Amino acid sequence: MINSPILCADDEPYNLGILRMALKEHHPLVFSRSGQETLYAVAKHRPALILLDVQMPDMDGYEVCRRLKRDADTENIPVIFVTGMTQEIDEKAGFEVGAVDYITKPISVPIVQARVQTHLSLVRADRLKESYHDAIHMLGKAGHYNDTDTGVHIWRMAAYSRVLAETIGWDMERCNLLELAAPMHDTGKIGIPDAILKKPGKLDQEEWKIMKSHSSIGHGILKQSKAPLFQLAAEIALNHHEKWDGTGYPNGLSAMEIPESARIVAIADVFDALSMKRPYKEAWSLAKIQDYLNENAGSHLDSQLVEVFMDIMPTILEIKANWDARELALVENFS
Ligand code: C2E
Ligand code: SIN
Ligand code: SIN
Ligand code: FE
């Protein structure tokens, strides 16, 4: 990817010459002079970006683009059309077949350079986001122990947390952050011995003491990043087992002393944990879970948040059904 070339496709050698001049200093380049040659060059060179002439003799740029977008291997390569046709209808046609941008002829060198920079940065940002997402998933999974766990539940509880935050008026950006931070709430379980995590029965006093340290362990790991995402994740890891009445751990905080992020995640966590089979418990029925949340509103959980959570239960159940279906599909694929 780092060294993938930019593919310049045009039947006019003159235009290819301008593109070469504009880009050669900063990018590896490959060239093609017809539709067929372009498809061949894409397969051979896996370009990072394609500058694609619309009017070529054998197959026009629209058709080339359409074919690239149909193929899973090439659909993500950004295509910029280079065209002499400037009517609005043409622009629409270009975007409809999946182009990200277009440049009009005669080709302006600074414009080509700027557009190419922009779209390469967008690709890099996408890659970075993908890595970020994977890192979160890995940290989230580190906290979970079941070999058959598909990892679905950490995103499911994150989705519950998000809609709860949205409903109480968090802005979009904080909601996005919360949805990414919540899956890491149990990262600290990586520091808990398997014999405790997988114990089929109730934990004794000593085991429970060790188990409870997962909040601080997770906090210790996550706080090492200054990125807002991990700062929020650290706050949640530390506080997700605090209780409204002050009887939680690790610090016995109560009520509004507990960060709202953690009060939100606590509800999503308990709702999701109860609906799942654990080594030490069976899955609970939905009715029983709802009763439990209501009974624990004001003691364990923030009662105002529980009330909102009950109000949005139809949305929560929709999310649950979606994720449960995905989990089932994953399990079937594995077996
Ligand atoms: P977890 O299984 O992910 O559960 C998260 C939280 O959901 C629990 O936090 C608790 O508030 C709620 N919860 C889960 N299962 C039950 C249940 O059967 N009954 C009730 N009333 N609440 C439930 P908590 O209690 O602080 O536990 C934290 C973690 O400690 C649990 O995470 C689990 O990994 C472990 N754990 C708790 N109790 C036991 C146990 O009896 N045996 C084993 N092996 N592990 C336990
Ligand atoms: C195209 O028609 O080439 C697509 C975009 C544009 O109009 O330049
Ligand atoms: C876990 O909490 O990771 C185990 C539950 C499961 O996903 O089966
Ligand atoms: Fe936990």
144-334 CATH fold: Hypothetical protein af1432 (1.10.3210)
6-127 CATH fold: Rossmann fold (3.40.50)
Q: For residue 148, is pLDDT > 60?
A: no
CA dihedral 94, 100, 105, 106 (to 10 degrees): 180
pLDDT tens digit sequence for 254-282: 999 999 999 999 999 999 999 988 888 89
CB atoms within 10 A of CB 320: 18
**How far apart are alpha carbons 79 and 98 in whole angstroms?**
8
In this structure, which residue's CA is closest to atom 5 in ligand 2?
Answer: 91
Residue 241 CB–ligand 1 contact under 6 Å: yes
In this structure, which residue's CA is closest to atom 3 in ligand 2?
Answer: 83
Task: Domain ranges for the chain, please list them.
Answer: 6-127, 144-334
Q: Name which of 320, 6, 325 is nearest 163 in CA terms.
A: 320
CB 102 within 8 A of CB 91: yes
What is the pLDDT at residue 86? 67
pLDDT tens digit sequence for 215-259: 999 999 999 999 999 999 999 999 999 999 999 999 999 999 999
CB 249 within 8 A of CB 258: no
| Phi-psi sector, 61: left (phi>0), alpha (psi -120 to 50), beta | alpha
CB 262 within 8 A of CB 242: yes
Amino acid at 205: Q
Q: How far is the CA of 210 from the centre of ligand 4 (A)?
A: 12
Which pTM was predicted? 0.73
Residue 260 CB–ligand 2 contact under 6 Å: no
Compute the average pLDDT of residues 201-218. 96
How would DSSP label each residue in 171-231?
A: -HHHHHHHHHHGGGTTGGGGGS-HHHHT-SS---HHHHHHHHTHHHHHHHHHTT--SHHHH
Atom nearest to 186 CA in ligand 3: 2
